[in-house]
Amino acid sequence: IAGDVAAVKIVALSKKNRELTSEVERERSKSKQNSNRIKELDKQVGLDDNPAMKSLKDKLSSAQFKVTEHRNQIQFLKQELKLAQKVLVSEVGEDANIQQLLSCAGSFRGRAQQILALQSRVKRVTYNMILNTLNDAQMVVCRFVPCDWLATSSGCILATARRQPG
């Protein structure tokens, strides 16, 4: 009896399998017919062969290319702007007012120029101070060898000869 039940079940499942297989084939057939119908309708409308459509597609392609170029250019300019801002901050400092700097464009001197001018001024003032504090008997004059004058904490003067280039 168990074998008969199994045989009946196998027959029922086989029948169901055939029905499902035929349904799948019908759906495939319908899908293929619909696909062919869509192709026919596209040909009738003539979207691919229409010169106006081709022209519009070309214009779209050209516009997309230009947009890409402009995006790249904007990105490049943003990077250059960031670099220029970094240079500007290093030259004038973070707290500088850009509008104020633009209003006095001719008279503005950058920090690097100011530092050089101040260093030169400090050297000159130090040299003059040293010369003023020495008596004529203690003063040493270097006539033939250029030298740098330095004052020490004890008040002594040191002269170091500069090497001549070449």
Question: What pLDDT score was predicted for residue 79?
Answer: 95
What is the mean pLDDT of the segment spanning 5-15? 82
Main-chain phi, psi angles of 70, to 5 degrees: -65, -40
Instruction: Work out the pLDDT band at 159, boundaries 50, 70, 90.
Output: low
Higher local confidence (pLDDT), 131 or 33: 33
Question: Does residue 151 carry a pLDDT above 50?
Answer: no
Residue range 80-95: average pLDDT?
Answer: 82
Spell out the long-range contacts of 130-135 with Cβ–Cβ below 8 A and sequence spacing 24 or more: 130/157
Is residue 86 predicted with pLDDT exceeding 70? yes
Lookup result for tokens 């017919």? 33
Residue % of the chain over a pLDDT of 90: 31
CA-nearest of 80, 85, 87, 84 to 110 is 87
Residue 42 pLDDT greater than 60, yes or no: yes
Sign of CA dihedral 31, 37, 42, 45: negative
How much is the average pLDDT of 80-89?
A: 87
| 149 close to 159: Cβ distance less than 8 angstroms | yes
Rounded-to-integer distance, Cα 25 and Cα 29, Å: 6
92 Cβ contact partners less than 8 Å away, ≥ 6 residues apart: 101, 110, 111
Q: Give the span between the Cα atoms of 24 and 31, in whole angstroms.
A: 10
**Stretch 16-24: mean pLDDT:** 93
* H helix or E strand, kind and range, residue 150: strand 147-151
Least confident of 72-86, 88-102, 133-147: 133-147
Taking the C-alpha atoms of residue 37 and residue 20, their distance in angstroms, rounded to an integer, is: 26
Q: Which of 12-21, 83-92, 99-108, 150-159 has the lowest mean pLDDT?
A: 150-159
